[in-house]
């Protein structure tokens, strides 16, 4: 199996949705309707919300490690990470609905290069402080991800990795543009 598909499978595991189901809540129909850590935090409480966040971070980082391990190269890790973000955003378990992919995306960035995560967080903080629109800041950071990744990796593979990680995050944040 290819690193991308393995990463996609890991990323597609809808942890928040399953936590909600254990508590008798359908995260697709309650709260924001988003099967992610923030909605789990709001609907299920801080402990389940934090567990969902940590597991989503972990599945992103694990996808990078598995991709690299299966392929024997860092390129496999990049592909596994991209797969995890796409899997979370478009989960077959949820009929290709999914979360906004921030937590698994952060796990992927942390595993690929922690500096990339720090740059993304710094840019998010700056844009949020300037424009007071966090959803737009996330959208902008997601679109900037190819440039951030290419600055650190300095290869075409890193540019494509940034594009692969940024696009699903940007797409999932479009509906919140006015928030």
The string of pLDDT tens digits covering residues 143-156 is 999 999 988 877 88
Average pLDDT value for the chain: 93
Mean pLDDT throughout 39-57?
97
Q: Can you give the pLDDT at residue 141?
A: 92
Closest to 107 measured CA to CA, from 6, 7, 16: 7
The DSSP 8-state label assigned to residue 174 in this structure reads G
Q: How far is CA 28 from the centre of its chain?
A: 18
User: What pTM does this model have?
Assistant: 0.93
Q: Can you give the pLDDT at residue 152?
A: 85
CA-CA distance, 170 to 143, in Å (whole number)?
Answer: 7
Tell me: pLDDT of 161 over 80. yes
**With bands split at pLDDT 50, 70 and 90, how would you rate the model's confidence at 33?**
very high
């Amino acid at each position: 199996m290819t690193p991308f598909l393995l990463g996609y499978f890991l990323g597609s595991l809808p942890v928040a949705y399953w936590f909600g189901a254990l508590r008798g809540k359908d995260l697709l129909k309650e709260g924001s309707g988003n099967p992610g850590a923030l909605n789990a935090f709001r609907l299920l409480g801080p402990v389940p919300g934090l567990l969902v966040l940590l597991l989503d971070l972990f599945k992103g980082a694990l996808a990078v490690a598995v991709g690299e391990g299966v392929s024997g190269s860092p390129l496999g890790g990049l592909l596994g990470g991209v797969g995890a973000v796409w899997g979370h955003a478009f989960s077959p378990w949820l009929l290709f609905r999914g979360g906004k992919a921030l937590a698994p995306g952060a796990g992927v960035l942390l595993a690929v290069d922690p500096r990339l995560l720090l740059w993304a967080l710094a840019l998010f903080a700056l844009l949020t402080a300037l424009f007071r629109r966090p959803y737009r800041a996330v959208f902008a950071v997601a679109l900037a991800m190819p440039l951030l990744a290419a600055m650190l990796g300095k290869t075409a593979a890193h540019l494509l990795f940034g594009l692969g990680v940024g696009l699903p995050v940007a797409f999932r944040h479009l509906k919140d543009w006015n928030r």
